[in-house]
Every structure is written in C-alpha cells, then in structure tokens.
Amino acid sequence: MNVRLYVWQRATAAVMAPLVVVHIAVIFYATRHGMSAADILSRTRGSIAWAAFYGVFVLAVSIHASIGVRNILSEWTPLNERRVDACAVFLGLVLAVLGLRAVAAVVLP
Amino acid sequence: MNTELSVSLWRGAQNGRYETYLVPQRASQTVLDVVTFVQRHIDPTLSYRFACRVGVCGSCAMTVNGKPRWTCRTHVAKVAASGRLEIGPLANLPVIKDLATDMQPFFEKWQQAKGAFAPTKTRRDAIAQIEPDTPARKAADAAIECINCGVCYAACDTVRWNAEYLGPAALTRAWTLVNDERDGGNLARLQAIAGAGGCHACHSHQSCQELCPQALNPTAAIAALKRRTAVAYLKGEIKV
Amino acid sequence: MIGRAVKHRDSALWVAAMVHRISGLALAIFLPLHFLALGLAIESEARLESFLRWSDQPLVKAAEIGLVFLFTVHLLGGLRILVIENFDWRDGQKQLATLAAALSALVAFAFLVRVF
C-alpha cells in the first residue's frame, strides 16, 4: 500500500457508501415484491439512471476490491510485489469486464 | 504467602523452547521480580534486559501471557490469576538470547521514517518562540512521550505481516516532527512515509494504542499522517 | 519466529478489522459470480428467470442472507475506517464496533424474514 493506492481505495469507498445503501434497499424491494426477471428487466431496460448508477458502482468496486485483495495477497501470501500487482490488475479487469457486461445485460434495450 | 508460580520462560534464540521454573509468589511482585529471581537463584544463564525498574525507561518490555508489556510495571497478581506465567521476548524482533531482542530493526525504521529533527536555525539565531497551545504543538505534545520501548511494534500485526512497515512508534515520532514548526524536513519526511511501508499500511487494529504504556495513540497519529500525505500527494508535493 | 500467538487479539477493534478484511475477501470472490448471473439476461429473459427460480431454494437463500450480512458489515467497517482517518479522534469506538456488528445482523435477519 502506498499513498496513491490509498487515495484510490478510500475515494472509491466514499463514492460507494451511498451506492451500497441504495443497493441494499433495491435487494429488499426486489425480494419483498418477489420480482421476476421480467419485472426487473422492465425497470432496467433503457434506463439511463440505472445504467449510470450501476456503471459507476462497477467501476468503483473494480478498483476498490482489487486494491483490497492486493493488500491481503501482499500481507498474507509469500508472493512478491510484481506478482501481487499482476493479480490485482487481473482481478480489477475481471470485475470491470464482467460487471459492465452485466450492466449492459440489464440496461440495453 | 507460600504459593509457587509456574513460570515458563523462553530459552534460546529464534529457535528455542519454553522452560518452566517454580518461583515463590510474594506480595506486590512484578513480572520483572520473577524473571530476576530465576536468574539470581535458579539459572544464572538466563538473559534479559532491564534498567530503571520503575517504569520510566522501557527496557524491560517482554511478552507476558501473550501481550507485550513493561515487566517492571506488570503485577503478577494481575496477570497470573491461575498461578501460571508465560514470558517470552518481544515479538516482531530478532531474538538475541532468551528474553532479549535485537532492537536494531526498530531503530532503523525510526530513521527511515525520518524521525529525526531537521533544524532550520543555528545557535546564532534567536530561540524559537513556540506557543504551547497551538493545535500543532498540542498534537506534537500528545505524541511526544515515546521512550522507544517497542511494545507497540511488538503488538502490531501489520508489522508482523509486512516486513517493510515502519511501525507505530516511528510514524508517531514522524507525526510529532510534522507538527514541529521549527523543523525543516517535512517534505522529505512525508515522502518517506508515503511509500510501501508507510503510514497507509496501517489497518487501525489499534493494538498499539491499547497497549502503549505511555498512553500514547499511534492510531490517531497515523490517521492524521494518512490525511497529510494524501493532501501532499494530490497537490503534487510528493510522489509515489 | 516464536510459535505462540499473541493474545491481544481479543479487542473488539481488532476483530472489527479482521471481519472487515474477511468480508471484503468473500465479497470479492462472490462478485464475479453475481455478474455472471446477471449477464444471463444477454441470452434471454427466460434464462435469467430460470436462474432466479433456481435461487429460490432454501440453501441459496441462506447463502444470500450470509451475503447481506457480509455486505452490511463491510460497509459499516469501512465507515469506521473513513471516520477514524478523516475526523478527529473519538472515544467509544469499541462500543460503536459492536453496535455495527449488531446492526448488520439485524439487517441480515430482516432479509431472512423477507425471504423465508
């Protein structure tokens, strides 16, 4: 961890705090109403708001989680710094690609 | 009082073992008294460190029943409820012999954190007038009474997991100097604590703050340093 | 290194930090699976629907309750860190940490009531 990674990790954390609260509310709403795929997709398809919300969420979590996992690898495994960086970048890319794909899956008309 | 304590002491260096001794229990006995008894009356080959015996020098810090403490200030009655004591050298430091550790890495990190005053005046200049109640001076004063005993360093899991981590004591000293208006070395200091082993490695476990025998708060000092270095980085004053 | 664990790890704040780390790791492992599930909508709405119905079974719901707990506790643990690092030092942190754990359990319990 250094000051650059720290700033990125804390900034994405601060950005995500309100997003997490909203997401928990969404989870509760969806389960209370027993929403089907049709119910969900009719709300998300073509919605710029949901695209923006979850798009930002995905990008933020890709950065945040990869830095967090990097710390764990660095402190709890014998991997050297280059390997640890590579794993973090890999995780970040996996989350960003799969995440944006998932957002596209539900918002694209 | 003629009960006996069962005392396990670490013998050997990095590879060693605990050996058990029986020590008569006495009123108001401290853990240092116990260790001293073993060395004087049972086994003169026991190595351990102490100096003042009265809680002002920090030399006698050891791991007592799993926690790093000053042994001269730890009453046996408080920690050996069942009549058993386990005493080892401080953690996170190389063991020289038995209960004595090599404090060199601790002091080297102190230097790496730029924990030394960088003067801006000479003896020919007027003495600096420092107001004691400015926020900066109050912050420095709250953190300045560190006597380098190593308890916080031994308690810290981040020190244990991250070989580069400068540790709570070194960073707390850096914090006092960051707040010292006479000091001229702040840019270099902030740069020194912003890298891989710097203040950002701290996870706020707060073992340091809980165990510091001087009631200092390295967690708070390090949190403030995180803010200070982040601002300096965003302003371009320091680089990664 | 001497092989005895140091015992100061009974502090509520140390536990809070560890729970924060483990919950983050668990969520990071879960997240790609979550994204793949949502991505099923690319194939068809029916595909996503059949996945949602599959997830209705009790074991999956139990896992989801666990995830809601981890999610909430990770958020609250993160807020703990953001407060320590950006505001003046406050006492009473141990009590707040315990409260945060209780709150997370409450949220997870509320979710349990919803789904069962």
What digits encode the pLDDT tens for the residues A40-92? 999 999 999 999 999 999 999 999 999 999 999 999 999 999 999 999 999 99
pLDDT tier at C113 (50, 70, 90 boundaries)? Answer: confident
Whether B86 has its CB under 8 Å from any CB of chain C: the answer is yes
pLDDT tier at C114 (50, 70, 90 boundaries)? Answer: confident
Q: Of B69, B101, B133, which closes a domain?
A: B101
Output DSSP code: residue B128.
P
Output DSSP code: residue B134.
S
CATH architecture of C12-115: Up-down Bundle (1.20)
- Indicate yes or no: CB of C80 within 8 angstroms of CB of B223: no
The domain in which residue B149 lies consists of: 104-234
Whether C85 has its CB under 8 Å from any CB of chain B: the answer is yes
Flag whether pLDDT at A33 surpasses 70: yes
pLDDT, mean of residues C79-99 = 91
The domain in which residue A54 lies consists of: 8-107
Q: Determine the residue type at C9.
A: R
C28 → closest Cβ in A17, A38, A68: A68
Flag whether pLDDT at C111 surpasses 50: yes
Chain C residue with the nearest C-alpha to that of A28: C111
How far is the C-alpha of C98 from the C-alpha of B103, rounded, in Å?
Answer: 36
- Indicate yes or no: CB of C46 within 8 angstroms of CB of A105: no
- Condensed to tens digits (0 to 9), the pLDDT of residues C61-83 reads 999 999 999 999 999 999 999 99
- A49 within a domain of the structure (yes/no): yes
C41 → closest Cβ in A24, A68, A105: A105
Order of strands, sheet of B61-64, starting from the edge strand that comes earlier in the sequence:
B16-24, B4-12, B84-88, B61-64, B67-70
Based on the fold, state whether residues B225 and B126 are members of the same structural domain: yes
Tell me how close the Cα of C113 comes to any Cα of chain A, in angstroms. 10
Which chains have at least 3 CB atom pairs separated by less than 8 Å from chain B?
Answer: A, C
Whether A31 has its CB under 8 Å from any CB of chain B: the answer is no
CATH number of the domain residue B131 falls in: 1.10.1060.10
pLDDT tier at C6 (50, 70, 90 boundaries)? Answer: low
pLDDT, mean of residues C74-103 = 91
Strands B4-12 and B84-88: parallel
- B239 within a domain of the structure (yes/no): no
- B240 within a domain of the structure (yes/no): no
Instruction: Let me know: does A108 contact A54? Beta carbons within 8 Å.
Output: no
Based on the fold, state whether residues B165 and B213 are members of the same structural domain: yes
- Indicate yes or no: CB of A20 within 8 angstroms of CB of C46: no
Flag whether pLDDT at C1 surpasses 70: no
Whether B88 has its CB under 8 Å from any CB of chain C: the answer is yes
CATH number of the domain residue B89 falls in: 3.10.20.30
How far is the C-alpha of B65 from the C-alpha of C6, rounded, in Å?
Answer: 8
Whether B217 has its CB under 8 Å from any CB of chain C: the answer is yes
Flag whether pLDDT at C7 surpasses 90: no
Average pLDDT, chain C: 89
Based on the fold, state whether residues B129 and B88 are members of the same structural domain: no
Instruction: Let me know: does A74 contact A82? Beta carbons within 8 Å.
Output: no
DSSP states along C39-99: HGGGT-HHHHHHHHHHTTSHHHHHHHHHHHHHHHHHHHHHHHHHHHHHS---S-HHHHHHH
Based on the fold, state whether residues B12 and B63 are members of the same structural domain: yes
Contacts with B165 from chain A: Cβ below 8 Å: none
Chain B residue with the nearest C-alpha to that of C91: B220
Tell me how close the Cα of C68 comes to any Cα of chain B, in angstroms. 24
A6 → closest Cβ in B161, B200, B238: B200
How far is the C-alpha of C111 from the C-alpha of C116, rounded, in Å?
Answer: 9
How far is the C-alpha of B67 from the C-alpha of B61, rounded, in Å?
Answer: 10
E strands, B14-94, where?
16-24, 61-64, 67-70, 84-88
pTM over 0.90: yes
- Condensed to tens digits (0 to 9), the pLDDT of residues C35-64 reads 999 999 888 899 999 999 999 899 999 999
Q: Of B101, B125, B141, which closes a domain?
A: B101
What is the value of ipTM here, to two decimals? 0.93
- B125 within a domain of the structure (yes/no): yes
- A3 within a domain of the structure (yes/no): no
Q: Of B51, B72, B101, which closes a domain?
A: B101
Whole-number pLDDT of residue C3: 42
Whole-number pLDDT of residue B111: 97
Size of interface A-C (CB pairs under 8 A): 87
How far is the C-alpha of B91 from the C-alpha of B10, rounded, in Å?
Answer: 12
- Counts for chain B of helices (H) and strands (E), in that order: 10, 7
Tell me which residues of chain B have a pLDDT lower than 50: none
- Indicate yes or no: CB of B205 within 8 angstroms of CB of C13: yes
**What is the domain count for chain B?**
2
Chain A residue with the nearest C-alpha to that of C75: A17
Domain spans of chain C? 12-115
**What is the domain count for chain A?**
1
